[in-house]
Amino acid sequence: MENKYNLRSPAVKRLMKEAAELRDPTEHYHAQPLEDNLFEWHFSVRGPPDSDFDGGVYHGRIILPPEYPMKPPSIILLTPNGRFEVGKKICLSISGHHPETWQPSWSIRTALIAIIGFMPTKGEGAIGSLDYTPEERRTLAKKRSLEFCCETCGCTMHSALLALSHNSNTSPQDHKAKELAQQINFKAESSSSRQPVENGSEDRTSTLTQADNSTSAGQKSSFVSQAGEAQMPPATVVEEPQIHTATSSTCPLSPRQRHTQQHTQHAQHDQRDGPEPTVSIVALTPTPQQPQDRSHAGSAVLIVVLTLALATLIFRRIYLAHEFDYDL
Amino acid sequence: MRSHRRRKQIATAKMAEEQKESSQGEMEGVNCLAYDEAIIAQQDRIQQEIANSNPLVSDRQDLSVLQREYAEDDTVYQLKIKDLYKKYSYIRKTRPDGNCFYRAFGFAHLESLLDDSKELQKFKAVAAKSKLDLVNEGFTEFTIEDFHNTFMDLIELCEKQPSLQELLNSFNDQNVSDYVVVYLRLLTSGYLQREHVFFQHFIEGGRSVKEFCQQEVEPMSKESDHIHIIALAQALNVSILVEYMDRGEGGTVNHHVFPEGGDPRIFLLYRPGHYDILYK
């Protein structure tokens, strides 16, 4: 690897150092660059104890910008977890009230600890966030997450981290993770700016996220093409290691389906309330049929009402025309 | 016949309605995605424009360039510039990117040490020790090391008595220059946290000193206020004089020395939101 990169580049210098620092797995996290790309890393983190993610180990990618560490890394989770959408870039950049708080003295380790600390926090309807039920999350954590095996870096979650020793449950690590999570906010790439949401959440984040054009362009097209076929299994992403994770059968709604659903509701919401970009909180129930039916019923009622109104107008028109005729 | 036509009309209307609905849905989705990108692209464009028209640190210019920046009938500023003339002759501008205080300070201080090797050695000792202080305060060594090394490299460059142009080139190399800014920010943050009992009184919004540092000091592009200047001046034991030029009445420019009672070697010009370097 040493020959391939310009060692005078600050990012390369720094990443080499971080790779050495994080070489050995710890009980809570492990991350290493891909063999052929210093700017893409794969990581595994242990779900925080005393949460629904207890017992789970989660895998993902970290993309480093060329300006790293002056610009923050982006993180993509690959293991279904019920908190973050799988395969979607979440940017580690903005804290609720104070934007742009990435600090160059933070590192990949900081990002990993922050992810751990951030898992038990609420998704609150932000795009890229999921609010699965605690049961679903526990199932994903205990049963499914450990079966995950990454095709790209070839590591399995069973053996990715050091075994947990008993006295480490309330380590300073956890404390730090929580502290960091309060400070950092994870944002989905290209999420819309949103107003305070209905449950009175105080999160008024302006969402200026780091854009990676290629990925978001891909997302755009996939959204459009999938909009009409939300019931299809989302096996359309090629070359991405998350394919086999997304098609899981125990996971009732795939992230992409939920995404589509969110947008459907989103559009409806806007029709009623005007063109301001709002994201409504979607009740994510475990059965995929229900919300779809509900949204269809809503549009059907709307169509019927509008049709009737139109019909009344037409009739009135015809009636008036005839009256006119008679007068002549 | 009539009912047939009606049904047809209704069907057409229905279709149009549906079409409108679905296209609106799609538009909205695309707009959401495009919205942030548009903002980011615009911010990048603005940043780029600023970068193209302002070097990180400019050449030394005659103070008269200031006069031309303001309208001739802008009496408040024209009077104050005349007042500045009594004490200063030249100005060196920095890029208005939110890091201007640190860059102006860094450059002006090293420039002033170019021909004062005794002071330079003193400063080098302070700077060399500063990393250890930060590590002892809980900063991660391997993440702050690169910034510290870059800073020390520049000081060592000054030891070799380079031409002014060489120093200027280093400060206009984005990588080097930004790393120096990061390190000065870290020093500021470190000092504020070390003296948190004192500084807590000056922090607004019910934040702790640590939170303040993480939100207003360490992230790049966060502008500096009195509190930052005091902290950095004391952290490095350097005295800084700032001339304040704003729309206030009075016709004279007020100045302030950080820390109070010091014998300043660095003179900065503050105009709301921005710092440049002044020379006698």
Neighbours of B5 (CB within 10 A): 11
Q: What CATH number corresponds to the domain at position A20?
A: 3.10.110.10
Contact A308, B14 (CB under 8 A): no
User: What is this structure's pTM?
Assistant: 0.67
Domain spanning B58-279, CATH class: mainly alpha
Q: Which of A183, A277, A302 sits opposite B32 (nearest CB)?
A: A277
The per-residue pLDDT for range B240-275, each reduced to its tens digit, is 999 998 888 888 888 999 888 888 989 999 999 899
Residue with tokens 């304040």: B244
Q: What is the pLDDT of residue A192?
A: 38
Check whether B200 has a pLDDT greater than 50.
Answer: yes
| Residue A44 and residue A99 share a domain | yes
The domain of A85 spans: 10-191
Query: Can you give the pLDDT at residue A239?
Result: 41
Q: A142, A160, A191 — which closes off a domain?
A: A191
- With beta carbons less than 8 A apart as the criterion, state whether B229 and B216 touch: no
8 Å CB contact of A103 and B214: yes
The reply to whether A187 falls in a domain is yes
Residue A245 confidence (pLDDT) above 90: no
Together in a domain, A217 and A152: no
- Higher pLDDT among residues A224 and B100, named by residue: B100
Flag whether A123 is in a domain.
yes
Q: What is the mean pLDDT of chain B?
A: 84
Asked whether residue A126 falls in the same domain as residue A219, the answer is no
Q: How confident is the model at residue B44 (pLDDT cuts 50, 70, 90)?
A: confident
Closest CA to B60 of B88, B81, B80: B88
Averaged pLDDT, B17-23: 49
- Say which residue, B74 or A194, is predicted with more confidence: B74
Q: How many whole angstroms separate alpha carbon B71 and alpha carbon B75?
A: 8
Neighbours of A165 (CB within 10 A): 9
Q: Which residues in chain B are closer than 8 Å to A89, comparing Cβ atoms?
A: none
Interface of B with A in 184-223 (CB under 8 A): 186, 211, 214-215, 218-222
A47 shares a domain with A181 = yes
Q: How far is the C-alpha of B218 from the C-alpha of A172, rounded, in Å?
A: 23
* Contact in structure between B231 and B70 (CB atoms under 8 Å): no
The answer to whether residues A64 and A92 belong to one domain is yes
Give the domain ranges of chain B: 1-53, 58-279
| Residues of B belonging to the active site | 97, 100, 274
Average pLDDT over every residue of A214-221: 37
pLDDT of A30 above 60: yes
Assess whether A139 and A47 both reside in one domain: yes
The burial of B259, by beta-carbon neighbours within 10 Å (0-12 exposed, 13-18 middle, 19 or more buried), is given as: middle
Report the half-sphere exposure of B185 (CA within 13 A, side-chain side).
30
